Structure 1
């Protein structure tokens, strides 16, 4: 188990490298990954189950200990990124599929990697975990509502269908993961160090499936989408940090909120795009997954040195 844990730790540290590598391979050999597409929701469920296994009752108690900071982080998560996505879609006059894809990413809760990045940045990790927990639990209601609000202009959006999907692939696996940890405490505790490896494998496979299945869309508009993804992520990090600073939170909390706002659950965005819209709408999620796992560690490195 120790050797697997070491491999898992290495995979977590080199996550961005594997995302890029698999993305490139999938672009040139799409047939090796497109068969995964029907299983994207299942893979996301595995990731969220692993996230649930890392959560404890204490993580939710932290909300009571710093309610203002958690409220700021969750509110920022579900306002800044959706508004930025809508603004970018309008400013760049995106096609309906790509516009909806960008908005999907913006309306998702924080990414599971944000807690690790916050830790590496010497940020308030307890706050990061609390915000991720609350935003994930709130996602079944807030994410479909925001997608309906901002994306209906481009494509038909079914709130009820999105709500059911997020319950199935996010909330139920997370609850099952928490339950498994509560019931099988010691066994799960031993398995938790391996979960980063499982998550890395699942996410890179999802990215590979999206890239492989949308090769033509990436060729025609990949540079534009990547530019929007970089702007979306970068502005999210900056505005999140600026908001926390304006509200006079301490520096470690400013870093945590910045990372929570800027790093999205792009796997969820890809799963929703494929299940409810057009496969091309999953491309922004795939590129976001690639980029925020580069920008996040980069921001952490800069903050760590300060």
Structure 2
């Protein structure tokens, strides 16, 4: 019966708990109950330990985990074969965008509301969900750098957490998909230096002359050419006293840059280990990169970075560190 369900794309009720999940780093076979959201906090320095607040696997995450299992086997197989063919001519990102496959899940809307303190506001009448643009720090403009297909960004836009969304992406096929989702402004560029002016020229609503209210950089730092420069640029694009950087980074840190149908090392190399435990990787990322880049930490979390599965496995997963950061002042540096 299970084989028939797999071929038809009709999983049994509760199948998520026994779903085959493959670790994309070590090829270990896992189930969703083994996905890590907590850590050994005694291995974190005090500064990070105080900021750590565990999240939980929620219904939105479970729904994403089951995506590929709800497609017939032959559809998953055909998409995999087509992707292998396209990869001979282009990057994996471009191939996935053309085929509409390889979607990623980092955070649910509820996770981001928790991390950024942007709670859903009541509609004042029937107690329904009116988004999170009211009290609790909602509203303003979000910039998503390297938005991909805009999975997380779309949830935030539709949930009302922000008044407007600006998205950037390097891959031309991904840019097309972002434009199809009708964000307030979509910019196809690798360099973020002109993004604020481009958003202003597009008359993005509620855009402050001082910068963006929030910037998301989700699993981009290990795929860009100049990661430290990018962090410094984004720090300067945050609204003073208000702006927050929502950063997701895969641990351990194994960077490369897509260059056509091949990969190469980035021009800027961060002094981070390419193996070891999550706690050690996060500690070094903070002390050697993020703190020297001029940030202070507000929140820290651990989540699985989930990719849609194929005909072999229900999903693929990496280990993410989630930082909520704000620009540090001179007083912050003195206090530390």
TM-score of the alignment, normalized to the shorter chain, above 0.5: no
* TM-score, scaled to structure 2: 0.23
Structure with more helix by fraction = 1
* TM-score, scaled to structure 1: 0.24
Structure with more strand by fraction = 2
Q: Which has the higher contact order (CA 8 A, sep 6+)?
A: 1
